[in-house]
Every structure is written in C-alpha cells, then in structure tokens.
Structure 1
C-alpha cells in the first residue's frame, strides 16, 4: 500500500520457478483466480483486501479478502456508481483504498457525466468513503476531486508530514507529442501523430475535497528514439499510435522516493513496469537504468499496473500486478511476486512467475 515507508526489507534473491513463498507456512501460485485489472491491496490489521478493475463488478468495484494472500473470499461489490453522490457514467477503473482516521477512502477513475463538449474520454478522479474496507463506499461529493482540463486516470495517494499528495496519469486522448519516435512512425507511413499519457503529482487538501496549487509533470515517455526503447514498443510494434506512462505507485525507502509506473498498451502484450527515483514527493524523478523491472517472459504477457504490499510475516515486499497467459486468454488475472530494493538502490521484481 502507498502508506508503506520501507526502512528495512529482505527478499529471496533467487527467481522463483513456481509461484513464490509468502511468509511462514503460506504459499500461493500465479496467476490467482481473481479477474482484476489494476489490482490494489490494502493490508488492514491481519487481513488483506484486494480491489481492482472489473472482476464482475457492474458500474463499480468489488473486493476480495484474505488472511494470508493464498485463500481469497469474494466479498462482492462494495462501490456502486449510482450511489447518492455518484458522478460517473461508466469506465470505473483502478480503485485504491486508504485507511485514515478510522475511515476507508476509495480513490478511483470514471467517465464524468458532465461532458458538454461530448468528449470520448472524459475521465476524472473521485473519492468515496466507507466505515469498513468491505464498504459500502459512498462518494464524498457529487463531482470529481478536480478538473485539470484534460482526462485523467489511475489515482495514487501519498501521505507525509501532514500533507497529502495525489498522483495521476493524463490520458493520451487528444495529446499528440512530437518526438523522434513520432517522426519515425510518420516517415514510415504508420501514424500521422503519436499521443502520449504523462504522470503528474499535485498536493491535495487533507479532506480530499480539492487540490492545492498546480499539478507538476513527473514522468513522460522518452523523446529520443534510443532511450528507454521499451516504453515505445506499442508504437514500434505497430500496435497503436499511443505511448503510455500510467499506473504510478509511490513508496519511500530511507530518504528516496520510488515511483513505479507502467508503459505501453494496457490491452497488449508489451505492457511493462519501470521505476524512477527522487528526493522529493513532487520530483524531479529520474528513471532507472535497469528498467523495465517487470515485463513479458513468453509465458506471461501484459504485465503491469502494480501495487505493493508486505508478506504476512512482514519480511518480504510483494509486487501485485495483472497479467495474461495463453491459458487464460485475453482476460487479466492477478499475479503476486517478490520484489526488493537492493543495497545499491536498485529495485528488482522477481517475476513474472507462473505455476507449471
């Protein structure tokens, strides 16, 4: 969860061949039989609660609970878009839940019904509250948290020193950007332009009713063709005329902020995860040289939009993400693999793994 401040972490440095171990006496095998995209895990006391996109929910979100990350109970739908303050009209994506002062707050993306210019993508971010992690969640206000003037998705929240920070992704929609990659694709006659999504951060009011100041650009795809080519594979494989930087997740180890993010088409095989580091929650962030840290391996594809939790015994840092296999087809399922930040500062994910 994003509240996690990592001061000391250990992890098995050998790549697992069949799933992974999670704490003493508890094991799991990938993929989990939970059809979530964008999975987020909240650890509340001795229980884990997993939220995500889809999973059978209709115009809202469901949750699964587990005492050990192995056995999961379907708790049903816990957020409904038609609640008394609901402002969305479909496309309910990427929920994240945080416990604050005895209440549970769900941040999520949805298509805003207020759409006077009839945009195809009119996504905004809202927040709903509940007394329990299993809901029911009710929107705090009948509108999104704020409107930056462009569609946004994938909320992630960080609390520190009495301040609250909101991270989000500006959508690719109507956001063409000039770069060596876009010029290359244009010359090949593939695409006239390449649209991009960028990750921003902004301070948020502590009551979540709005933001403070202007959003700060934190991450974007590379301008140069020979830099971080893995972030351009949706274009270079001629899959689509878009480059994504989305699904951010921030945590802190000692005095360094780590921001994990996903690139490429969430609906394709090249979806992958990288990270960047900073000394401040609002950057500047520098992308890591060892990116990507999670990508397809032949057996598992479309790996991305992760969150982080800790094992039941508190020893292992775990990367929770969605992926696909040949057996499961196009459906996204949840995977969990060990990860760590090494002594040299490098972040490593030991996955994707899959049970033989």
Structure 2
C-alpha cells in the first residue's frame, strides 16, 4: 500500500514538473495539426495589449484545402485555435488549394490575400484573391468577387502572395511560384494595382535560386527580401535572403538562413518573420516535416529565434524542438 502511495506521489510530482517544463518554452510545433506556409503577425487586442497571430495553410491534399484556421497567443507559448476564419463557401470562385494567407490591418479592417485553385495556365480559373473581415479571427468574406490576379505575368504562377507596407505608407504585393517573383503596387483600397513609372503593373524581381514564398521586412533602413528554395515535398526545402536599399532590389542572394537539421526535422521553409515592436527582437515562423514523416503534406508550424550579426547579416537559424521562451507584448 505504501509503495502504491509513493508511486502515485512520484507520478504527480513528475507530471507537475513536466507541465512546468513545457510552459517554459513554446515547444515545436507550437500547435498541433498539419499546417504549413505560416504568416506570423502582431495585432492590437481591443481589450488591451497586443496578440501574436499565425495564419497557416491547412496542409492536406489540394481538394481538401478549402479553409484556413488561425491561431492567436498572448505569449508565444499558449495558442488558441480559431477555426475556419476563411472558408471557400464564402469565395465562390475558389474551389481548392487555398494557400499561404497574408494578412494586414488597414482602416480598421483586416485584409487577407490568398492563393486558390493552383492554376497551371491562363485558361484556368483561380489565382490570388482578397478577403476582408472586421476582426483578425474573421469571419473573412470575399472582397472582390473575383481574383485580384488571375493570369501568369513574367512566368510567375499567381500564388504565395505577401502584402508589404513600405516606410512611406505605400502597400506592395510580392508573389510568385514557378521560380519567378513579381512585385506590384497596390491601390489604397486593395481593389487593383497602380502602374509603375514605365507603365508596367508587374515588375519581376526574381533573385538567384528563388522558387516561391517571398517575404519582406525592414531593419535599420535596409530591405530584407527572403524566399524559399528547393521542392516543398523534399528534405532540402530552405529559406535564403538578400538585402537591398530599395523594395525593388536588386536582390543579390546572400545565402541560406533556414534549412533542415537531420537530427531535428527536414523540409524547413516557407516562412514569415515577427518583430517585437520597437525592439531588435525577431522570430522566424516556418513549417517543417518531422523526421518520422514521409507524406509531403505532413508539415507542422514552428517558431524559433532569428538573430543578426554586427554587420546586419542574418545568422543561420537553429531549428529546435524547444521553440521559444514566453514573451508577452505590451
């Protein structure tokens, strides 16, 4: 009897210790389920403070990719799931393969840019769309009633869109699969595009080895342009970057900063970046594949620290199972 009581007590102590250890870091993946192409962002909470948000692709066969879930957190460690923030039931032209949401707040509205239908030619219906909501958790509804981009321009498949606000307040859309990347200047209401000075709407900015998944941020006045390389189903999927003085480049490839660690996970790629406001504190949000998985759709969303050296170059990211420590935004 005494041995049984001692065993129960030891089990409770072990469970308590385990629980406390879990809470010390987020752990990777940061939430359960197969999710990929995550966009991380910070939004104000109407009740006060700020929240972290992650909007990923639901990683499944294309025919089943007909909705987006979202996840929010106060501290990067505990995440709340918001189911079906966008569903193709509310986007009549989108039938499958809705991918890589990119979201931004403007004029007290939340605009989500997304790819749909995985079109292979200009004769197919689909491309990049826009949805809008009053809250970051949705529900999002189709904003235009049609795709924003429904054709191939400069060889770029209309997928993997990222909306970027420049220092002067101008919004740009970076996008493109099939090893081509374009940038376009968005109208202020996001209903279309403003031509560049040369009359072109879509300007190609493809750097060396680019495949898909563009992302842009500014640090110390420099434009950091990032993208994914390799095949998304393979172990060597990875992220590289360039630095420029302009949002249009030129973008000279510097090197990879995120890739597989055969001891941790494979296929680390298609990422986004979160900066803690007014701090030089950065997180990379990305997907990867567990070592035990061979199914291309078995991808999970992870968060790790991203740091810079004294010259401004990005240090190679160490992918971890521990994830990141809690950090509450003010």
Q: Tell me the TM-score normalized by structure 1.
A: 0.72
Greater share of strand: 1
Structure 1 counterpart of 2:25, from 24, 27, 30: 27
Q: Is the 8 A contact 1:123 1:153 kept in 2?
A: no
Is 1:211 aligned to 2:193, yes or no?
yes
Greater share of helix: 2
| 1:143-171 CA-partner distances (Å, limit 9, x unpaired) | 111334353111111112131111001x3
Question: C-alpha distance in 1, partners of 2:291/2:190?
Answer: 41
Residue 104 (structure 2) aligns with: 98
Q: Is the 8 A contact 1:38 1:94 kept in 2?
A: yes
Q: Give the aligned CA root-mean-square deviation in angstroms.
A: 2.6
| 1:177-203 CA-partner distances (Å, limit 9, x unpaired) | xxxxxxxxxxxxxxxxxxxx1111111
Matches within 5 A, 1:223-262: 231=209, 245-262=211-228
Residue 72 (structure 1) aligns with: 79
| 1:312-347 CA-partner distances (Å, limit 9, x unpaired) | 995520000000122455310111111123221211
Task: Give the stretch that moved more between structures: 107-116 or 91-100.
Answer: 107-116
Question: What 5-or-longer segments of structure 1 have no aligned partner?
Answer: 1-20, 173-196, 222-230, 232-243
Structure 2 counterpart of 1:53, from 32, 52, 57: 57
| 1:272-305 CA-partner distances (Å, limit 9, x unpaired) | 00001111111221211xx111111103110001
The 1:327/1:320 distance shift into structure 2, 3 A limit, reads same
Is 1:316 aligned to 2:319, yes or no?
no
Is 1:141 aligned to 2:144, yes or no?
yes
Question: C-alpha distance in 2, partners of 1:123/1:349?
Answer: 36
Question: C-alpha distance in 1, partners of 2:88/2:111?
Answer: 15
The 1:320/1:103 distance shift into structure 2, 3 A limit, reads same
The 1:281/1:313 distance shift into structure 2, 3 A limit, reads closer
Question: C-alpha distance in 2, partners of 1:209/1:354?
Answer: 42
SS in 2 for 1:108: strand
Name segments (4+ residues, structure 1) moved above 3 Å. 55-58, 112-118, 147-150, 310-315, 327-330
Q: Is the 8 A contact 1:29 1:354 kept in 2?
A: yes
Question: C-alpha distance in 2, partners of 1:255/1:271?
Answer: 29
Q: Is the 8 A contact 2:118 2:159 kept in 1?
A: no
Larger Rg: 2
For CA contacts below 8 A with separation 6 or more, give which structure has more relative contact order.
1
SS in 2 for 1:82: helix
